[in-house]
Amino acid sequence: LDPKAQTVLDEIEEHNVDFLRIQFTDILGTVKNVSIPASQAEKAFTEGIYFDGSSIEGFVRIQESDMRLRPDPNTFALLPWKTRDDGTASARLIADVTDASGADFKGDPRHVLKRALKRAGDMGYTLNAGPEPEFFLFEEEDGRATTITHDAGGYFDLAPKDLASDVRRDIIYGLEKMGFEVEASHHEVAEGQHEIDFKYDDGLTTADNIATFRAVVRAIAAEHDLHSTFMPKPIAGINGSGMHTHLSLFTEDGENVFHDEDDEFNLSETAKQFLAGVLEHAPAITAVCNPTVNSYKRLVPGYEAPVYVAWSDVNRTALIRKPAARTPAASRVELRSPDPSCNPYLALAVMLHAGLDGIERGLDAPDPVRENIYEFDESTREEYNIDVLPPNLGAAIDALEADDVILDALGKHVAEKFIEAKRAEFDEYRVAVSEWELEKYLETF
Ligand code: ADP
Ligand code: MG
Ligand code: MG
Ligand code: MG
Ligand code: MG
């Protein structure tokens, strides 16, 4: 038995764990769970856990449905909201998906990310990624989610003013118990909206963390009878929820390749090439980083969400920002388009491949744009050579289909299933008749 797996077995003993949740993520980013009694943990590590892959969206056809889960012992964590009065506890493990023979399954998003990290590794780099996920907390009514923000409700009810920060505090305790280092948390611009930033880590850990983060927020909000949502734009006219993603490449010795003391922006040539790669592939990666119809209701001018393909060291209207860095380790670029409805494994994989492509091809970064790009007219944008992000999911899928680098990043299996599912989603939206249309036209015509 792998020594790390043995450590997990010891922890299972020590904490009186009776059930293990084995988790993996499907192509659309939905977390799937298989629960096993803790007594089966050793077997799970040595033989894996068999399951029927055809029951999972976008995985396999029925004739090749025998799949296996291989739990990653590095991902063991107790579920803090599942510790029971009798002293027993539940824990989770994140698993890789393999076929029946034990070979990596090409349709597993975690495999797609590992492939991207391997490419970076072969070039001598490790990816560091730090996300800033935003979400809303809404009240529930008769067990159903509403869009009533609970802090507004609390305000009118004269409930204690810090009701929102109570929930946020419990979420942070939950995250810390699961091993997160929370760096910052605050109430966002919009009512009912929150942000919790946790410390950057290597790409795989960060993707796992984002999946875990969403589960923790959901579970702890529910304990407070609140509904949490990572939907990108739940309420028209107020800020949507993004997931800005900070990226840097380190050498194996932990030196930040993105830092250059002598550069005006403290960005190395490599960092600028990476940035240029992300800008070049921005339309295609939007399909993956902003994968819902609703994502495009956030990517509009006026709410600090990016619309234009440019970078800046000062303003927050650009797609990529170079945050001020106090130490060499903190030199990084911030991609501001991703939203928390994305599949974190696929999103980090496409961002990384886009950047590595820029490095491999030695692309030149354009000059930073220091003005408010929302205020540019079309001719100024043309003069600066600034592209616009796809305006909707359909256009984003078109851009993805036209970009071989990003298609390769996903791999044939995932690319086909993803495009098929997202086309269907967009078509369904296209034929739906919305409230807005009824209000606008029903009585006019
Ligand atoms: P903002 O100014 O956009 O709110 P923050 O200063 O809050 O950004 O930084 C957010 C994220 O950047 C955090 O998750 C932090 O850990 C991460 N971060 C810091 N240094 C690096 C780095 N070298 N590579 C990747 N992420 C980093
Ligand atoms: Mg922040
Ligand atoms: Mg900040
Ligand atoms: Mg924010
Ligand atoms: Mg940010």
Q: Kindly report the length of the chain.
A: 445
For the Cβ of 195 lying below 6 angstroms from any atom of ligand 1, the answer is no
Atom 24 of ligand 1, residue of closest alpha carbon? 248
- Which atom belonging to ligand 1 lies closest to the Cα atom of 316? 3
| Global pTM exceeds 0.80 | yes
- Which atom belonging to ligand 1 lies closest to the Cα atom of 329? 23
Kindly give the distance from the C-alpha atom of residue 306 to the centroid of ligand 1, in angstroms, as a whole number: 18
Alpha-carbon torsion, ordered 417, 422, 425, 427, to 10 deg: -110
ipTM score for this prediction: 0.95
The closest of 329, 309, 331 to 320, measured between CA atoms, is 309
For the Cβ of 329 lying below 6 angstroms from any atom of ligand 1, the answer is yes
- Which atom belonging to ligand 1 lies closest to the Cα atom of 256? 23
Amino acid in the structure at residue 358:
G
The closest of 255, 281, 283 to 358, measured between CA atoms, is 281
For the Cβ of 324 lying below 6 angstroms from any atom of ligand 1, the answer is no
Amino acid in the structure at residue 246:
H
For the Cβ of 244 lying below 6 angstroms from any atom of ligand 1, the answer is yes
The angle that helices 269-280 and 282-289 make with each other, rounded to 10 degrees, is 70
pLDDT for position 152: 54
Asked whether 164 and 313 are in contact (CB, 8 A), the reply is no
Q: If 0-12 CB within 10 Å is exposed, 13-18 middle and 19+ buried, where does residue 201 land?
A: middle
Pair of tokens at residue 21: 């949740």
Kindly give the distance from the C-alpha atom of residue 411 to the centroid of ligand 3, in angstroms, as a whole number: 34
For the Cβ of 199 lying below 6 angstroms from any atom of ligand 1, the answer is yes
Residues assigned a catalytic role: 52, 132, 134, 188, 195, 244, 316, 334, 336
Alpha-carbon torsion, ordered 95, 96, 100, 105, to 10 deg: 150
Report the alpha-carbon distance of residue 150 to residue 16 in Å, rounded. 37
Could you give phi then psi for residue 184, rounded to 5 degrees? -160, 150
| Block mean pLDDT (10 aa), the chain, length 445 | 95 95 93 93 95 76 78 94 82 94 93 98 98 93 83 45 76 94 86 92 98 94 92 94 98 96 95 98 98 97 90 89 92 97 98 98 95 85 90 98 98 96 97 97 97
Atom 21 of ligand 1, residue of closest alpha carbon? 330
Asked whether 22 and 33 are in contact (CB, 8 A), the reply is yes
The residue to which tokens 């791999």 are assigned: 411
Kindly give the distance from the C-alpha atom of residue 219 to the centroid of ligand 2, in angstroms, as a whole number: 23
The residue to which tokens 């899928």 are assigned: 397
Of all ligands present, the nearest one to the C-alpha of 330 is: 1
For the Cβ of 197 lying below 6 angstroms from any atom of ligand 1, the answer is yes
The closest of 369, 378, 237 to 303, measured between CA atoms, is 237
Beta-bridge partner residues of 64: none
The closest of 395, 385, 406, 403 to 308, measured between CA atoms, is 385
Residues with CB under 5 A from ligand 4 (ion): 195
Report the alpha-carbon distance of residue 224 to residue 160 in Å, rounded. 14
Q: Residue 31, CB half-sphere, CA atoms under 13 Å: how many?
A: 22
150-187 as b/e, with b when 16 or more CB fall inside 10 Å? bbebbeeeeeeeebbbebbebbbebbeebebeeeebee
